[in-house]
Structure formats: structure tokens, C-alpha cells
Chains A and B, each alone.
Chain A
């Protein structure tokens, strides 16, 4: 049997990527991954490379060899998949049973000028959540279990696939949003959601302070809204559920808020921050006390897109000179998701000394040789 000579087969796009970025590893099992980690000195953990905020140096470790839905029980609202599984593949499997990931995965490829295929492990590592976060919680709230390999090569599981589980410490939450700094996620288990039979969006022309005030009133009503955003001079409210219930709640909200129109609306623009995608400048992601959002935006004088009733604010800073962190001090955090070359600020909001010490120590305990994503989280 002839041995295939290297270089004679069709070039794999990933190999082209690797030749550009240096060496590349693509383990296909946790055992292989563990061996690779033990041998590595410095790794950049990469799912689809679609949401990474900071540039890093190191060998690229791909999770794309760890793929596939390993368990899906529609009747238990549970799905388990390997970390490198494309989000689209999971979405398709769920759609086949009229279900979905409740937290609405954002696609930031346009905003961050990335190509590639978003993976479910990357979504978890970023704790990435869209507009429905106000109703159903974040990615981390839907995450039931994880498997990962830590910086010493230990294969670890935590949580599981059941909806209520307080057995031992909750490392599931720790891994969600840790940006690959504590370990390489290999498998994730989710609570999923049935697709609603009806959806309505109410829209009103509003300035930012008035619009956000209306959204907060809607969120404080019993009418259970699944989206509360402000974009381009318009406030938007989404209602989902059974047909009769959706119609009822839309009526009640109109009675509460006044001149709101039922309109077809594109929530992906909010979810993916598409209006800022083609525009030059730095992009900030603010997580703030909702009632403080309008004041912060006004003080900075920057263009804004708001989600989560004002709890999530996207800012476009064309010159990259606004003192955003100063403006949110005590009111939340500011992440510099898309920096200009001239900006040298850390990506994540600096933590208070006591918290920063805990974070540093955690990283040192899970990644004692400091090999994962150096520079990613400061």
C-alpha cells in the first residue's frame, strides 16, 4: 500500500492557515489533546477563530478535530456536542426537532472582519449571548456540563447533562467565558429550547434616553419580552410564544407604552452588531446597569447600539480616543472588542486588586506553565 507523500494531496485550507501562522495541532480525541498540551510551550486555542479579541503568539491548537453531536434528547431538552462542532451544525440538528439554543448565538464575523466557522466550544469560551439573554439568561445559564483538558494535560469533567445539579463546585460557569485561559474545552452539554410558534416585534421611533426608558418599563412588566434593543433611532421589543399569548402581550405592551407599531424586524442586526461592521474605528462592548446606559453614551458622544434594555451597549469610537473605561467606572465593565492598531489598552476591563489576584491564581492553578492564550485576558 503506497504511503501518501506529504504535499501531494489537495491543500487543506487549514494547512494554509497553519503555514501562515506557524505550526498547528489538530487533536481528534481528548487523549491526543492531553498529549499535545503536555508537550506544548505556548498555545493559541482556536475554535473557528471567529470571536477572538486579542492577538496572541504561540502554536495554534485547533479544536476542529473534536466534532459531532454526541447526545440529543429533544424530549429532555438536552444536547451534548464536542467543542469543535460548528454552531450551524448544532442549529440544524435542533431545527429538525423545532428546537434551538435559547441564548441566540451572536455571529461577530462581520464586526471583527473574521472568516471561519464558528464552533460551539468557541461560543462557550466567549460566553456569547444575543438579545434573548434578557429573557432566558446567557450562554452560561444554558450550559449544563463541560469536559476540558487543563494546562497540565488533565482531562476533567464537570456538571453533566441534567438541569439541576449542585454536586461539587460549578466549574461549568468558570469555563464559560474563560476564553480558553483555564483549559481547552472538549465537550459541552446544553439545555435547549422549543421554537416558539409566534413572534412579534414592536417598534417605536425614539431618542436613546426615551427609548431605553420604555424598554426598561417593558422589562419590568409581566409581559415576558424576549428582546429589548435600540438601534438607529428606533426602540424594538420582541415577544415570542403561543400565538394567542403573543397577541395578548403585544396589545398590553402597546397599552402600556403608547405609539408602538408591529413591524417585521431584523434582530440579527442587533445580535451581530452589523451596522458597525463596515465602519472604521474601535468597537467597545459595555455591560452596564441599564439605567446608566443613556448617560454614558451621551457623556462619551459616541454612536451606540443598545441591547438587553440598555444592559449591553456597543460603541463605535472612530478615533479610538474616547475614555470609555472612565465613563463606566462603578456602573459596569467595558471590553475593547475591536481595537485600532494605535490602541494598547487591555481587552478586558481591569479588575479590582483582590479579584485580579484570584483570577491570576486560578489561571496559575489550572495552567501552571502559563501556556494557554497568553495576553488574551491580561
Chain B
């Protein structure tokens, strides 16, 4: 992975820059000792590491603005960081950057059930947003699997999804407003506790901009009344293709499950060995969850069963009680851990049209055989967001490179069938160099122009999202 050469002038001015930063944040909010800045050398994409020049952990929007103003004046790159759970290297530092961590800004500022929103500081974790409202019967819908740790700031940066977004949408569909600090220290408010205020939808483009347009310090989020109940079913098939057709038939019938999860045989076997959830040994299985009152759940499951049975499943398993429901989810929720027990793995995140599912799974199987690395598939089938897990051995020379090359081929396949490189993890550094597969030069140029508007000096989260050669001129000027 190529990263820009650190700016020698900035490196040599570290002491002076840190002294200026010390003037605007308390001593415990500034980390400059190399032994301590190492804590920020990577995120959840641990294959790439680089300690930053310094890390700053402000406690207010005013402090964030002061820090950014200084960095802007000094020409110092800034890498915003939520909880550092990015799987795409979205928070990977450069050696000449200041890490701006919002983790200490985690307060709930306002809870309004009458208007169904919550306003929080952006360092608050995803799950603790729901935690703040669930006693009153509400929840925050986007549920990335890192939700215990990941921050709302990072969710907004990556436009995070989750297993339940088939019904509830992703972050951008649940975000009403933000307070954001631009690289030059300007504080702007976008949106608010209302819907569709008109004007150019700046909030819409900020969400998912991977921390490159501004640092979000506060967010107004839609909260929803909790459904009365939820229940999953498990359906096993002896062919991926039939499972894919079943998904399509359910969707087309107008049933809206909150989740349709798909696991293939390699993944089922690995999971079974690890979690012993009692899954059938079959080619493909679906976990379908529906919500509502007991009667509504029964009504939906009856329809789903009728559709599933027309496809001759090897098993249709209903949950009679909470414990059985938990066991249906157990294997799916352990899938990543199970694969991790067998091997190191790389998790991909491409999305494909649901109709291409059988073809893509078949091609991945063929490619896997060709390159000699095993793949397990576990993914959100309702929306086509795949998560192929490629197994490799990090200790074996050349294996990581082989794995990355194979991963790139799978992502190219996703684009080829009409899909995209990343459905919910973001581009970061991981998929940066594949952007030209999906986008023509004009498509990328239009995105760069947005960056030019918000961050004309190109200092925020450098060397991410776009191939380096595409941005070289801008970063140099």
C-alpha cells in the first residue's frame, strides 16, 4: 500500500506545532510522546500501521475548531477518528498528521420523543445511542456489527449500515442534522430536527464522505419506536441459486423482513465447528427475521413459509421460543469469529444486484479454486451486500498479497455485474486503488470538486478514497 511521503518540513516542526496545539486544548487532550501516539497507528484494518505526529482528543466543538484552525494555518494534515473500528483503513494516520479523536465527546445533548430524535456528541458509540432511549421504547436503527464500539462520527463518515437496514435504511436515511467543523475552523450546522428543508443537500454528501469534508462534532439522529417483537426463521437449501431465487420471491411478494442473511456451505461448516448452533449441513441457508406483534409475526412467517416451501428447502426451522430464536442467530453472529478461528481472513464488502447472486457465488467458487485460497460467504442477501471472507495465512510469505489480489478480482466482479466496491465499510485506503474500476475519470473528478469546496487545501484525511495519482496535483499544491 503506497502512502504519500511525509512532509519533512512538518515533521521537523513537530515541537512548534504541538506547542500551538497545547495552547488550545488541556494537557491531557494532547498526545505527542511516540510511545503513546502508537496507540493510534491503525484502525481495525491492522495490516497497515503508521504512528501520527500527534493526537488531539478535544472535548468540545470549540476545541475542535481551534485545533483545525491551527492545523490549517500550519498546513498539517488531519485524520479524524471515531473509535478506530474502520475495516477499510479510514482512520489510518500519515506520519505527518494530527489524529483528531472525538471519543471524549460522547454526551447526549437532547432527547425528544415527541419529535422522535436524539442529539448527541459524535464520539458517542452507536449502541449507547440506543441505550439512551431504549428504556422508553425507542431505538436507533443502523446497527453495524461493531456497534458496541463504533462511534456515531465514524458511522456518519462511512454511512454505516447493518443487518437490519433492509427495512430501516443506513445512516444517511436516519441522520437529520450535524454540527460540523470545516478544515479552516468554520463551524456549520446542516439540517436539524426537521425533514427536507430544501436547498442543496450538503448533509447528504457529508454523510459517507469518510471524514474528508469536515469533522462532525454533533449529530441529530432519528429514533424509532421499538417494534413489539421480532422472530427469525432458518431455511436451508441444497443450491445457492435456489436460495437466491427464494430471497427474490419473498421481496417481490411485498413482505418486508427486517433482515435476510445468507450463509454458504464453507461458512456454515466453519461456523458449526465453532459455535455448534445446530445448523443443517447444506449448500446455503437463509435467516429471515420479521417484526411486529405476535399475530403480525405469524402472518408474515406464514407467507414466507409458503414461498420457501415452493423451493423445496432441505429444512425450514421456526423458533418456538426466545432460546430457539437465539440459536438461529447464534451461528450467523459467530460467523466472523468462526472463520477467524480457522485462519486469518480478509472481509470484503461489495454489493451486487440480488439477481446476480447465483452467478457471482459460482464465479467466486471458481476463482477460489484457481488461486488456492478458500472463501466463505456470509452476507445481507436482501440488499445484495456481500461479505466474502477470504482465508489466508498471515505468516506465510506472499499469502496476504495473493489474498488482496483475489479480493480485488472479486470486487471487480461485483462492479461488472452492476454492483459496487463497498456497500457499508467504506473505501478508506483498502479499496482506494480500485476506484477506477467503478468510476470513469469524469465521475471521480466530480467527487474531487466536492472535496475542493469543503477542504481546498486537501488536508483532511489525506490519501484515502481516491487513487493517489488522481489527487497528486491537488495534494501537492
Within 8 A of A (CB), among B367-418: 380, 383-385, 418
Q: Which residues of A contact B303 (CB under 8 A)?
A: 242
Q: Which residues of B contact A204 (CB under 8 A)?
A: none
Q: Type the 1/0 row for A316-334, where 1 means its CB is closer than 8 Å to any CB of B.
A: 0000000000000001110
Interface centre among A154, A220, A331 (most CB of B within 10 A): A220
Q: Which residues of A contact B138 (CB under 8 A)?
A: 220
Q: Which residue of A lies closest to B411 (CB)?
A: A167
Q: Are A141 and B355 in contact (CB under 8 A)?
A: no
A224–B194 CA distance with the chains assembled, in angstroms? 19
Q: Which residues of A contact B254 (CB under 8 A)?
A: 98, 194-197
Q: Are A366 and B251 in contact (CB under 8 A)?
A: no
Within 8 A of B (CB), among A62-83: 73-78
Within 8 A of A (CB), among B404-456: 418-427, 431, 435, 438-440, 442-447, 449-454
B172 located at the interface, meaning its Cβ lies under 8 Å from any Cβ of chain A in the complex: yes
Q: For the side of the interface on A, what is the size category?
A: 35 or more
A48–B186 CA distance with the chains assembled, in angstroms? 40
Question: Which of A168, A245, A377 touches B465 (beta carbons < 8 Å)?
Answer: A168
Q: Which residues of A contact B193 (CB under 8 A)?
A: 289
Within 8 A of A (CB), among B158-181: 158-159, 161, 165-166, 169-170, 172-173
A358 located at the interface, meaning its Cβ lies under 8 Å from any Cβ of chain B in the complex: yes
Q: Are A165 and B423 in contact (CB under 8 A)?
A: yes
Q: Are A173 and B204 in contact (CB under 8 A)?
A: yes
Q: Type the 1/0 row for A117-140, where 1 means its CB is closer than 8 Å to any CB of B.
A: 000000000010100010001101
Question: Which of A141, A150, A289, A363 touches B194 (beta carbons < 8 Å)?
Answer: A289
A365–B449 CA distance with the chains assembled, in angstroms? 6
Q: Are B418 and A161 in contact (CB under 8 A)?
A: yes
A331–B201 CA distance with the chains assembled, in angstroms? 18
Q: Are A167 and B421 in contact (CB under 8 A)?
A: yes
Q: Type the 1/0 row for A264-300, where 1 means its CB is closer than 8 Å to any CB of B.
A: 0000000000000000000001011111000000000
Interface centre among A289, A359, A361 (most CB of B within 10 A): A289
A40–B357 CA distance with the chains assembled, in angstroms? 45
A81–B443 CA distance with the chains assembled, in angstroms? 19
Within 8 A of A (CB), among B197-254: 197-205, 207-209, 225-228, 248-249, 251-254
Question: Which of B166, B202, B423, B431 touches A355 (beta carbons < 8 Å)?
Answer: B202
Q: Which residues of A contact B165 (CB under 8 A)?
A: 164
A219–B115 CA distance with the chains assembled, in angstroms? 9
Q: Which residues of B contact A170 (CB under 8 A)?
A: 159, 172, 204-205, 207-209
Q: Are B198 and A349 in contact (CB under 8 A)?
A: yes
A178 located at the interface, meaning its Cβ lies under 8 Å from any Cβ of chain B in the complex: yes
Q: Are B442 and A245 in contact (CB under 8 A)?
A: no
A54 located at the interface, meaning its Cβ lies under 8 Å from any Cβ of chain B in the complex: no
Q: Are B351 and A165 in contact (CB under 8 A)?
A: yes
A290–B176 CA distance with the chains assembled, in angstroms? 13
Q: Are B419 and A162 in contact (CB under 8 A)?
A: yes
Question: Which of A154, A164, A177 touches B201 (beta carbons < 8 Å)?
Answer: A177
Q: Are A167 and B435 in contact (CB under 8 A)?
A: yes
Q: Which residue of B lies closest to A350 (CB)?
A: B199
A312 located at the interface, meaning its Cβ lies under 8 Å from any Cβ of chain B in the complex: yes
Q: A76-B355, A163-B351 are in contact. Are A355 and B188 (CB under 8 A)?
A: yes
A275–B293 CA distance with the chains assembled, in angstroms? 38
Q: Are A140 and B201 in contact (CB under 8 A)?
A: yes
Question: Which of A127, A161, A178, A351 touches B196 (beta carbons < 8 Å)?
Answer: A127
Q: Which residues of B contact A137 (CB under 8 A)?
A: 169, 173
Q: A335-B198, A349-B199 are in contact. Are A162 and B423 (CB under 8 A)?
A: yes
Report the interface size for chain B: residues with CB under 8 A from the other chain. Answer: 95
Q: Which residues of A contact B293 (CB under 8 A)?
A: 245, 248, 252
Q: Closest Cβ of chain B: how far from A214's Cβ, in Å?
A: 12
A174 located at the interface, meaning its Cβ lies under 8 Å from any Cβ of chain B in the complex: yes
B326 located at the interface, meaning its Cβ lies under 8 Å from any Cβ of chain A in the complex: no
Q: Which residues of B contact A332 (CB under 8 A)?
A: 192, 194, 197
Q: A76-B248, A141-B169, A222-B227 are in contact. Are A129 and B200 (CB under 8 A)?
A: no
Q: Are A166 and B424 in contact (CB under 8 A)?
A: yes
B314 located at the interface, meaning its Cβ lies under 8 Å from any Cβ of chain A in the complex: no
Q: Are B205 and A154 in contact (CB under 8 A)?
A: no
Q: Are A333 and B384 in contact (CB under 8 A)?
A: no
B333 located at the interface, meaning its Cβ lies under 8 Å from any Cβ of chain A in the complex: no
Q: Are A194 and B299 in contact (CB under 8 A)?
A: no
Q: A73-B353, A176-B201, A194-B252 are in contact. Are A366 and B196 (CB under 8 A)?
A: no
A77–B190 CA distance with the chains assembled, in angstroms? 31
Question: Which of B169, B192, B201 touches A173 (beta carbons < 8 Å)?
Answer: B201
Q: Are A154 and B197 in contact (CB under 8 A)?
A: no
Q: Are A354 and B186 in contact (CB under 8 A)?
A: yes
A221–B418 CA distance with the chains assembled, in angstroms? 39
Q: Which residue of B lies closest to A246 (CB)?
A: B296
Q: Which residues of A contact B203 (CB under 8 A)?
A: 173
A258 located at the interface, meaning its Cβ lies under 8 Å from any Cβ of chain B in the complex: no
B300 located at the interface, meaning its Cβ lies under 8 Å from any Cβ of chain A in the complex: yes
Q: A73-B353, A76-B355, A177-B201 are in contact. Are A291 and B114 (CB under 8 A)?
A: yes
Q: Which residues of A contact B442 (CB under 8 A)?
A: 154-156
Q: Which residue of B lies closest to A133 (CB)?
A: B195
Q: Which residues of B contact A163 (CB under 8 A)?
A: 166, 351, 383-385
Q: Are A308 and B200 in contact (CB under 8 A)?
A: no
A174–B442 CA distance with the chains assembled, in angstroms? 16
Q: Which residue of A lies closest to B254 (CB)?
A: A194
Q: Which residue of A lies closest to B385 (CB)?
A: A164
Q: Which residue of B lies closest to A351 (CB)?
A: B199
Q: Are A167 and B427 in contact (CB under 8 A)?
A: yes
Q: Are B197 and A359 in contact (CB under 8 A)?
A: no
Question: Which of A98, A141, A167, A333 touches B438 (beta carbons < 8 Å)?
Answer: A167
A348–B450 CA distance with the chains assembled, in angstroms? 22
A182 located at the interface, meaning its Cβ lies under 8 Å from any Cβ of chain B in the complex: yes
Question: Which of A75, A194, A289 touches B115 (beta carbons < 8 Å)?
Answer: A289
B75 located at the interface, meaning its Cβ lies under 8 Å from any Cβ of chain A in the complex: no
Q: Which residues of A contact B202 (CB under 8 A)?
A: 174, 355, 358-359, 362
Q: Which residues of A contact B426 (CB under 8 A)?
A: 166
Q: Closest Cβ of chain A: how far from B453's Cβ, in Å?
A: 4
Q: Are B384 and A76 in contact (CB under 8 A)?
A: yes
A45–B66 CA distance with the chains assembled, in angstroms? 42
B contact set with A: CB distance below 8 Å = 112-116, 137-138, 158-159, 161, 165-166, 169-170, 172-173, 182, 186-190, 192-205, 207-209, 225-228, 248-249, 251-256, 292-293, 295-296, 299-300, 303, 351-355, 380, 383-385, 418-427, 431, 435, 438-440, 442-447, 449-454, 465
Ordered by A's residue number, 8 sampled pairs between the chains whose C-beta atoms are within 8 Å are: A75-B355, A166-B425, A172-B204, A194-B251, A352-B188, A354-B187, A365-B453, A377-B200
- Give me the 4 closest cross-chain CB pairs, A-B, nearest first: A173-B204, A194-B254, A164-B423, A75-B248
